[in-house]
Amino acid sequence: MFDTSKLKETRRVACHMSAETAQMVSALDKAAAVYALRGDSFAQGKAGICLDLVAKLEKYGSFASDKQREFAQKLITWSKPREEKPAMVADWGRPVPKLFKVMQRHAHFYADPLKLSRRNQDSLCWIIWNDQVVGKIEAERATVWKRKAEAAGTTALAVLAVIEEFEADPLGTAQKYGRESGRCCSCRRDLTDPDSIAAGIGPICATKFGGF
């Protein structure tokens, strides 16, 4: 382990050193202290590198090259705790036990611009809006990510509103969208049979909704 006693508490700044370089010296000193206390393999040897750069800066007053400056900045950045990425949390999720069960009988489900797509041999379903993934249905719960929905040109609440409609009455809502679009929500084929057009869904696809 690096000997922390070698870290200087104060450093003499060369008179020809710029304020920016002096700040880098201070930051490299702090980075060296952080690396010295870490026990992971990534940190190994980096405290010594930081202090070597500090010694060169104190001697010469500047970096030898732009690449050396960039590397010093990376050492400083790497020493800082990683910031957690903001979670893409939905405005709020929804329990969807009925729709979840219906989707276990489907590979895909269509109600433009909404599409639900189930992963092969898995129960998880992706929620897609305007051909962009905006959420998921997993363990009988729908979650829509706010920023993903906005990127797809809508809102999480708007997507969840359609999801809730299908949850309340899966077959009835599928028939409604089928009559409006002229396409089956289950297989996306055009409805051509008079009875299917009137029902908004074909008889075979209707069986995929079970008792709902």
Burial of 9 (C-beta count, 10 Å sphere; 0-12/13-18/19+) = exposed
> Does residue 11 carry a pLDDT above 50?
no
The predicted-structure confidence for 57-104, as pLDDT tens digits, reads as follows: 988 889 999 999 999 999 999 998 765 444 444 456 789 999 999 999
**What's residue 48's pLDDT?**
92
CA dihedral angle for residue 7, residue 13, residue 16, residue 21, rounded to 10 degrees: 60
Cα–Cα distance between 110 and 7 in angstroms, integer? 64
Cα–Cα distance between 88 and 201 in angstroms, integer? 35
pTM of the model as a whole: 0.58
Pick from 4-13, 72-81, 98-107, 134-143: least confident: 4-13
The predicted-structure confidence for 164-199, as pLDDT tens digits, reads as follows: 999 999 999 999 999 999 999 999 999 999 999 999
DSSP letter assigned to residue 187:
T
Domain boundary assignment for the chain: 10-79, 94-209
CA 140 to chain centre: 21
**What's residue 212's pLDDT?**
67
**What's residue 82's pLDDT?**
63
Q: Is there a contact between 91 and 83 (Cβ–Cβ < 8 Å)?
A: no
CA 35 to chain centre: 29
